[in-house]
Amino acid sequence: MGSVPPERRGVASAIRATVFNAGNVISIGLVAYIVTTAIPYQIVSEIITGGYTSLTPADASGFVVGMSRAFIVSAIITFAGMLASSLRGHELKAVPNEGVSTSTRFNLQYQEKQGKQPHG
């Protein structure tokens, strides 16, 4: 949030939350898809929902292979996100009273003129 002007932080927060939630939803589907490349979808569905209580050694091995593939893809996506994050703008330095309402700014200026310490 430090690279966004104070008057735009609400919008930036909303965009960040939307991207975060969309990423969570997409990642669950992506992991399920990747795991099903190693074992049949029906078995993956039963494992996730808890309906599959015993795995054959072949199914267990396939599940582990699928999960390791999912971790590799997730790591690649994470590193791409880290790269994109490193390219964002510089952090903006706080300016005194910036982003403060006009009435609050007036009160702070009044207190300074009266020789009082502003609160907060």
Of 37, 103, 90, residue with least CA distance to 111: 103
**Structure tokens that stand for 63 in this block:** 């599940």
Domain that holds residue 11: 6-89
Same domain as 17, residue 50: yes
3 contacts 88 by C-beta, under 8 angstroms: yes
Domain membership of residue 82 (yes or no) is yes
Average pLDDT of the segment spanning 71-94: 84
Same domain as 48, residue 25: yes
What DSSP element (H or E) covers 5? Answer: none
Q: CA 9 to CA 6: how far, in whole Å?
A: 5
pLDDT at 80 over 90: yes
**Structure tokens that stand for 119 in this block:** 């609160």
Convert the pLDDT of each residue in 22-41 to its tens digit: 999 999 889 888 988 888 87
Least confident of 4-13, 17-26, 76-85: 4-13
Question: What amino acid occupies position 53?
Answer: T
pLDDT value of position 89: 67
pLDDT at 79 over 90: yes
pLDDT value of position 39: 85
pTM of the model: 0.58
